[in-house]
Amino acid sequence: MDKMIKLIKNANVYAPEHLGLRDILICGNKITRIEENIEGYDDLPDVDVYDARGMIVAPGLIDLHVHVTGGGGEQGPSSRVPEIALSELLLNGVTTCVGMLGTDGTSRSLENLLSKCKALNEEGMTCYMLTGAYQYPSPNLTGSVIRDIMLIDECIGCKVAISDHRASNLSCDELIRLASDTRMGGLLSGKAGLLTMHVGLGRNMLNDVLYAIDHTEIPVKTFLPTHMGRNIPLVSQGVKLTELGGRIDITASDPAISDKSASEMIAYALRSGAAPESLTISSDGCGSQPRFNEKGECIGLDYTSPKVLLIELKNCVFKEEIPLETALMFLTCNPAKVIGKEGVKGCLQAGADADLVVLNEDLDIVHVMAKGVHAADQGTALLKGRFER
């Protein structure tokens, strides 16, 4: 499927709502029609036709939390995680991601992050970025968080860490000021204006966030706490945030690294009253997975991959018995709303970007399309970064 016009026939379409059997017409990088039967294109020489009979077609996945330039560093320079490759994202169904810095905002620079985001966009997928890092005051490129969001096309918000021994322990007033600047940058640029907050295991949890919402006029959706599946008390407090109209992001886990399942925490949040629309799942791809003892000493380190998103999607459906169209929301239309791209990303509808995944009945990836280009086929990357072998 490498021609400008593509017709996908007989697909079991999840948009992510279940539409049933549909044909999908793609022109360039956009979806132009989704109908029960699209005729008149099959015999044209400039049209690629693909029969998706027996297959599920869903939107390409959106990963809200990827350390595209690598994370880590908690055990010194040799523990810095490598940057991610384009093919690793696409082979795991990720067609849109948000890149950010993490613990290390010194040797990992925003200049490098911006360049990596531009590279991924040039190479075939869609990548946005957050300014800032764990540290406060927030590192930036143009002199302020507001200016970064306004003046850098790829920048849609800011990153900071709270309730973590690796964070700068910013005060509640400093959090309010940072959220205000992020909100203003979003308003002036027409972007999401998103403040993504790494939430650690600290006893303060989301208390400062809830205080800011209660004592200021900052919209609750400015705040996106992530890693919210660390334990039941934290996800329970996150449910309270969703009741105020907020959203929480739960980090997917690799069973080889962690026994904490995002799907279990998602199911718990739903049972506790969280609306499905308020939940997202991200991978923390190429972010470190350090293990600390009671003294705060790092005693082990690993890192994760976007492959965990499909693991958690399957767990949601097959273990937690969450309907597929609901489980897909956490990885498609919900994160699209978070980044201000509703109707463009994370959905299958006329006018949306032609980002999609083809899945078999076991929810394994068969094909991936990014920006209307066939990017992965049967586990083989068709789109690769310039220096990938």
Which of the residues are catalytic? 284
| 67 within 8 A of 55, measured Cβ to Cβ | no
- Burial class of 310 by CB neighbour count within 10 A (0 to 12, 13 to 18, 19+): buried
Closest CA to 326 of 94, 64, 58: 58
What tokens were used for 231? Answer: 């334990």
For residue 62, list its beta bridge partners.
Answer: 96
Closest CA to 9 of 71, 1, 306, 17: 1
Round to whole Å and give the CA distance between 214 and 129.
28
Q: At what angle are helices 262-271 and 232-243 packed, to 10 degrees?
A: 50
| 333 within 8 A of 346, measured Cβ to Cβ | yes
Round to whole Å and give the CA distance between 188 and 380.
42
Round to whole Å and give the CA distance between 191 and 199.
23
Distances (CA, A) of 306 to 87, 102, 189: 11, 16, 29
Phi/psi region, residue 31 (left: phi>0; alpha: psi -120 to 50; beta: rest), is: beta
For residue 96, list its beta bridge partners.
Answer: 62, 126
Helices (H), 223-382: 232-243, 262-271, 308-314, 324-329, 333-338
For residue 377, list its beta bridge partners.
Answer: 367, 380
The amino acid present at 377, given as its one-letter code, is D
Closest CA to 285 of 61, 3, 32, 76: 61
Distances (CA, A) of 350 to 84, 300, 367: 31, 48, 20
Closest CA to 99 of 84, 87, 88: 84
| 356 within 8 A of 29, measured Cβ to Cβ | no
